[in-house]
Amino acid sequence: MLRHLVSIDDLSLAEIRDLFAHADRFSADPRGFADTCRGMIAASLFFEPSTRTRLSFESAMLRLGGGVITAAELASSSATKGESLADTVRVVGGTYADVIVLRHPSEGAARLAELYSPIPVINAGDGSHEHPTQTLCDLYNLHVERGHIEGLDVVLAGDLKYSRTVHSFAYALARFGANIVCVPQTGFEMPEYVVQRMREEFGVEPVRADARRLGSLASQSDAVYLTPQKPHQLSLFTDARGWEVENVDAVYMTRPQTERFEAEDRPVDNYLRLEKRSMAAESLRDAVVMHPLPRRDEISSEIDSDPRSIYFKQAARGVPIRMAILAMLMGKIEAGAGERVPAKDSHPVHVGPNPCPNPTCISRTEPRHVTPRFTLAARSPMRAHCAYCSRELRFRFVGCSTTRHFHEPDSTALRKVRPDHLVFLSDAAAAEALAFEPAAGVRAASECPDSEVARG
């Protein structure tokens, strides 16, 4: 069966654990598996610059005995001639290659590629959305260094707003039952859509964290504690100082993702920094220091020799885990003993404009070639996400394309409407423009409080 790796959610926990076991074997003898994928070809389609991810994938494929073809950066591809991503993956997936490794600046690009590719697609980073193979590498490092992931306390520090690595890592940590301490650079907090998803899927309730034991690392940040393990305790927690952070197992530092900054983002001054002084905090005594690299000034070179600093080991371990990913998706090894994550149903937006609010979603950056799609998050009140970039859709009313009536999002009548008949409407004027009429009991937009008019 054709498999893709677009999100970390595409893998079950059993599959992830088996990938770790295979990576252990590949790591122990990296030259001993040169017949695993002999005669097979990986296509590296990198529409953004990359060093570690691209080279580690190419090294992994070569160590498995396969070959590599590369299209690096937009300037050297047919995208500059106006070719759509959908057409590119159909061409490359024809006879050029057996697997596609894709990096793209638009969120949801890998999900789009999955729809059109006849061969496995691996997401090597799509905008600020997800980076599942880096997440597998990060999880694998925790597995190697700590022997387990469940129950660990992991600090995520720096740019939590734009770091796709952090977003994928946070979802995966929650699935494994680890606790997360968010220590963001001011103004670059974890996006609400990421926290909302963790709340819905893992029962996570964010609370303020008392991070004084983290010392200078958290001295200028409002720390937040996220845990899927203590929801009842947190619901009764009333200490104004926040949930006390004690001993930490890992600190995951990130650089400012300046290439993704939006117009309103100001240059970052006094960015969070790990150095000898900050690593002297009592709660960090046994914490390993991780970083997806490249780094700038957020980790001082003076702690490179600290045995707790594993970021170079972390990069090296990217090869065996990516060997395992490639071999699994090309059917050369098995993982999970048949335990699979069911695919989420997505539906095309047939009527009306694209309701996705994200300007860098692939449905916005390639509007001539991409049909907007959505997934349903809840029926009452109606909530939906973009199927490509995962952002929550913004709408004031929801219509039915069969009855041509529109309803309030909390209307019980919407429970009976088929997903492919739903129409998301920004306001009453948009409904009228599409020839929809209000259902019985729907208030006019002028009667609604301002807070209700902006949905999403």
Catalytic site residue from 22, 104, 129, 131: 131
Specify the 3-state DSSP secondary structure of 299: strand
- Asked if residue 36 lies in contact with residue 164, where contact means CB atoms within 8 angstroms, the answer is no
d(CA 33, CA 239): 55
d(CA 107, CA 38): 33
Active site residue 230: no
Count CB-CB contacts under 10 A for residue 281: 19
Catalytic site residue from 4, 54, 63, 103: 103
Query: Residue 307 — φ and ψ, nearest 5°?
Result: -60, -15
d(CA 113, CA 99): 12
Catalytic site residue from 36, 53, 135, 165: 53
d(CA 324, CA 334): 10
Active site residue 391: no
d(CA 93, CA 162): 30
Active site residue 31: no
Count CB-CB contacts under 10 A for residue 146: 17
- Asked if residue 137 lies in contact with residue 314, where contact means CB atoms within 8 angstroms, the answer is yes
Catalytic site residue from 3, 17, 25, 52: 52
d(CA 386, CA 193): 11
Known catalytic residues are 52-53, 81, 103, 131
